[in-house]
Chains A and B, each alone.
Chain A
């Protein structure tokens, strides 16, 4: 069965993402759904490199590379300028990694969402500063090894719940999506595109290099994150109406963790604790979706 997805790509081959890069898959899907009338702002992230060095660009849409913490603000400015020129058809997208979203860019994002700026902010989340060599971010999950949480100092804090933070802004539309669920992702991008105001998409994008996984399971691992409820697929409208898009059959997290080198140090007890955390989060989400 073939998925009903637009055929056209807005990317060229020859980009310099690592083999199996989930962020490259995410970009492909996003642009398929958005089409050519799109302007993209890319603050510092893996994609600053992937997109190509001067004089190349791997994307068929206009791209503005910007400073790390500026995604929300630069996109606001691009939107303002396009509006002033009477171009309300073009979609403005900020495309940032988790560092540029959860951490350094959070202020600009929060400001833009509070102002309800009319653009889509997409965070492709690979759960650490991968471009600089796998340092922990506030998106790095509990239990993960990174080069700044090495050895027994593995990260002992939870991953920041970015969607909930934006929902607290009463953002018109916020959704999670995964490269392993392209139809869901497409539907959400199309939905976001049709909404006016601030929109946020949180796309789970695996990183074989940083997660210490074989590149061929890159999409599979992203799917497992959904299947285990580690990364639930859901959307929130106007900061109020929650819809859970996927209900996994069972949710044993261990299998997901065991496949990844970044978690190899975790003990059975650690994994049990993580299972409890995941179940808590899922319960809370169901509660918000009115399902208790």
Chain B
């Protein structure tokens, strides 16, 4: 059924359809609409879940570690500072192999206080062992949330569904909300391999000395690799039921493209418009949208980019001292190719600054006109820094 939904509410609808059993959350803008809507669902009975209104994001994830260990499908949502506060337990959830799903609304980290879109918060957590899925549209948010549960439970790893603050979380779009029966077919009840129970009592997460710890970590790496293969199988099933698929990456007009823009999140939508215009002018330009960031689909990316002459990666994030995070990962993926495109790294739109079609065209023009990048990463659309006026 098509409905016009806010991005946040698309997440909430998916959580309802996934029949999540335990929700635990703490308010933070711009994630709050998700948990408010879930509160409504719990209150009106349309979702039968225990909702823990905990006293911090740390406890939100801690509670889900308990709930998931005891065999409950579990969900939380957060943003920015909240995610950073969860950091310790992000590692814990993956180390304990708990398929918790977390909706992460990308927001800039303070200081100064900034509630607007920025991916640095989620990308800072790339090494925590969570599957990360970046979304572009309201429909994709809903679908990806359902997919996240399926994939997470398949490989026993937690998953993060990532959406841009406001551009996606607070934007209303028409969304096809699937029926419960179809969702149930795609996502059967959670049936974990292990769970806390008094019939077969055992201890979880106990001391793991050097003789076993490394193998446990290797098991996480293996699961990530299985998640990569599993993603396309999962999408096969998903599209068989719902008729939609997104791909770990989505190449747009890449076949003959000389220049390919690599994007994620809502910047992709803006890029689509630019590419349409440039193509109409005869420019050979394409887009590679990265949806699945962890596990990182390096081989697919190589295949998509290897024929291009130049690649421009647009990062709404920065790893200070290194540059755009997607750019680092894509460059690393390409370095094994004997002949590889020239890679341009752009940092754009931090802290919620708009990245317009014009901004993107400016980036495209720079790339087209330069044989090699002038810097390791190019900060797009920087304003002049005001001179301080000191009060004396």
Contacts and interface: CB of A to CB of B under 8 A. Distances in A.
The reply to whether A and B meet directly (CB within 8 Å) is: yes
Interface of A: 36-39, 41, 48-49, 51-54, 56-57, 59-67, 69-70, 72-85, 90, 107-108, 110-111, 114-115
B198 interface: yes
A80 B280 CA distance: 57
Contacts of A51: 203, 206
Contacts of B220: none
Contacts of B301: none
Contact of B198 (A61, A66, A83, A107): A61
A111 B59 contact: yes
20 contacts: A39-B197, A39-B198, A52-B203, A52-B207, A54-B212, A62-B198, A62-B201, A63-B201, A64-B69, A64-B204, A66-B65, A67-B92, A70-B89, A76-B66, A77-B72, A80-B63, A81-B22, A84-B21, A107-B59, A108-B56
Size bin of chain B's contact surface: 35 or more
B61 to A, nearest CB: 8
Contacts of B24: 73, 76-77, 80
Interface stretch (B45-53, B143-151, B315-323): B45-53
Interface centre among B24, B53, B67 (most CB of A within 10 A): B67
B384 interface: no
Nearest to A110: B55
A73 B206 contact: no
A201 B49 CA distance: 29
Contacts of A111: 54-56, 59
Interface centre among A61, A84, A85 (most CB of B within 10 A): A84
B59 A81 contact: no
B65 A54 contact: no
A8 B333 CA distance: 59
Contacts of B21: 80-81, 84
Contact of B66 (A66, A69, A85): A66
Contacts of B52: 76-77, 80, 115
> What DSSP secondary structure best describes chain B's contact surface?
mixed
A238 to B, nearest CB: 22
B139 interface: no
Contacts of A56: 206
Contacts of B202: 57, 62-63
Contact of B203 (A63, A70, A110): A63
A64 B55 contact: no
A77 B53 contact: no
A109 to B, nearest CB: 10
Contacts of B110: none
B367 interface: no
Interface centre among B24, B53, B63, B65 (most CB of A within 10 A): B63
A55 to B, nearest CB: 8
B58 A81 contact: no
B162 to A, nearest CB: 23
Nearest to A68: B88
Interface in B44-98: 49-50, 52-56, 58-60, 62-72, 74, 88-89, 92
